[in-house]
Amino acid sequence: MVKLVIFGPPGSGKGTYASRLKERLNVEVISTGDIFREMIKTGTSLGESVREYVEKGLLVPDEITFNVLKENLAKIPKGKGFILDGYPRTVWQAQALDRIAKIDAVIHLIVPDWIIVKRLSSRRICQNCGAIYNLLFLKPKNDMICDKCGGPLYQRSDDTPEVVRKRIEVYEKQTQPLLAYYRDKNVPFVEVKCEKLETPPEVIVEEILAGLKKLNLA
Write down the catalytic residue from 70, 156, 165, 166: 156
Alpha helix stretches (DSSP H) within the chain = 14-25, 32-42, 45-55, 62-73, 91-98, 113-121, 161-184, 201-214
> What's 159's DSSP letter?
G
Q: Which residue pairs, CB below 8 angstroms and at least 24 apart, start in 143-147?
A: none
Write down the catalytic residue from 89, 119, 141, 165: 89
Question: Is 99 known to be catalytic?
Answer: no
Question: Is 56 known to be catalytic?
Answer: no
> What's 137's DSSP letter?
T
In whole angstroms, how far apart are CA 82 and each of 1, 5, 183, 189, 199?
8, 8, 20, 16, 25
Write down the catalytic residue from 20, 37, 124, 167: 167
Task: Report d(CA 63, CA 16) in Å as an integer.
Answer: 27
Question: Is 123 known to be catalytic?
Answer: yes
Question: Is 89 known to be catalytic?
Answer: yes
Question: Is 14 known to be catalytic?
Answer: yes
Write down the catalytic residue from 20, 37, 119, 123: 123
Write down the catalytic residue from 14, 37, 119, 124: 14
Catalytic residue numbers, as ranges: 14, 89, 123, 156, 167
